[in-house]
Amino acid sequence: MVTNTEVKELGHFINNEIVAGLSGHFSDVFNPSSGAVIARVPIATKEEVQGAIATAKSAFPAWRALSVGKRVEIVMKFRQLMTARMDTLIDIICIESGKTIEDAKGEITRGLESVDLAINAPHLLKGDYSVNVGGDINAYSAKVPLGVVAAISPFNFPVMVPLAITSLAVAVGNSVILKPSERVPCSALFLSELWKEAGLPDGVWTVINGDKDAVNELLENPAVEAISFVGSTAVADYIYTTGSKYGKRVTALGGGKNNMIVMPDADLEQVANAFLGAAYGAASQRCMAISTIIPVGEETANNLVKVLADKISKLKVGPYTDSDVDFGPVITKQSKDAIIGYIDRSLEEGATLVCDGRHPDIAENSNGFYLGPTLLDNIKPGMEIYEQEVFGPARNVVRVDSLEEAIDLVNAHELGNGVTIFTNNGAAARKFTTEIDVGMVGVNVPIPIPVGYYNFAGWKRSRFGEGHMFGPDQVRFFTKTKTISEKWFEENSESVSTFAFPSNND
């Protein structure tokens, strides 16, 4: 566990032990609420990553051979330990990511949905069986694990995303290597201790800390069969292209530019309340955060902006230790500076500043990376702040005249992660859900993130590859199908050679 005053030298988790880094290179881990360094995380060498992969590969045969029931018992124990230690995990998340207690708890709860799905591995692994497909031959299929698989997770969900992209991989019999963001390594190392306590055998779960060199080794090493990634679109593209080049199965989820369309018949009070949490929760550092609100019609836009301005002005930003805050800081000073740059340039491009969060009061007496909520009106397609995913509390209003214009606007963007509409008109909702070219769609739901047993993934340049972050398609991603045809001969039965291509005519 990390505290505000302790600067701890972290390690990797290999072969069920915390091991010191050997490179001599470290990255500082900050408490975003105070700006203080709380830990130093080692940056692995290529050789360290190779050693971790070799350990995982050695552990795979015994783990694969263990019955799925026994594997699931360990997953269930892990879940029990997570629930029992939730307060400690919440504290770690809040300290290293700046999230509020409520938000951290929500993240863990959603992460547990992925663990729950993994507990269903015996059902999800069931194959097919056909009797006498021809010539007294029975045919059946079996889903078998791949081997060593790697997961690369982002800073914004230090628990939920790692659980989402590893839990089922473990349950179906793979050895898993997690490379967490070097900004939030403490949560991943804590999960490692829980896996060990749950009884996971040595080498099945590995955490390797590092930078691009570590990632490249995971992408290029022939012992790694699959890569699951969540992060920015540019990096997702690189992960997919490089991993595919080396013959790996790759799912790489990128950024999202998520929109909320507001129809004239919608209740603007409900819309505004839904928008606040969906847009500014976790300091807007969610891939499913609402970036842009799109009111249909000038009257709708004017009234909505007025309601939003009043509510946004009352939001409070601060440290997680203050139970009254709505959201905390952004992850680093570099992120804060970049977000301010987006706001400044949007104003130069003609945007209207409704609420200015560039210099919140708390920033006067704190070294934390704080930004208040900013709302910009009259944003147009082509502006940098509209086109780019801004990972911070600067949100946009784009005005349109019709639902058709709103749909066309959303469909024209290169990203297609999430979108939602607020309306009381069923026909409008049906038109929207039918015509929108986005992977996750909501109707009067502010953040349309699916539950853990539905597939999560965007479209267009929000996803590279055909896998998903969670949901039943993960079983297909983390296994390969073996099809067996078998025939048993009776004693003393006659047989003859045949040179015709096998068929089911017999």
Rounded to whole angstroms, how far apart are CA atoms 184 and 178? 13
Rounded to whole angstroms, how far apart are CA atoms 106 and 103? 5
Dihedral (C-alpha) 113, 115, 121, 124: value to the nearest 10 degrees? 30
Rounded to whole angstroms, how far apart are CA atoms 95 and 89? 10
Token code pair at residue 326 = 């709505």
User: Catalytic annotation on 355?
Assistant: no
* Other beta carbons less than 10 A from residue 386's beta carbon: 21
Which of the 8 DSSP states describes residue 317? B
SS3 (DSSP) at 338: helix
**Using CB atoms within 10 A of its CB, is residue 176 exposed (0-12), middle (13-18) or buried (19+)?**
buried
Rounded to whole angstroms, how far apart are CA atoms 396 and 220? 40
In 93-157, DSSP assigns E strands to 129-134, 137-145, 148-152
Which residue do the tokens 């628990």 mark? 159
* Other beta carbons less than 10 A from residue 361's beta carbon: 12
Which of the 8 DSSP states describes residue 201? P
* Other beta carbons less than 10 A from residue 192's beta carbon: 21
20 CB-near residues (< 8 Å, 6+ apart): 9, 11, 42
Q: Hey, which residues are catalytic here?
A: 287
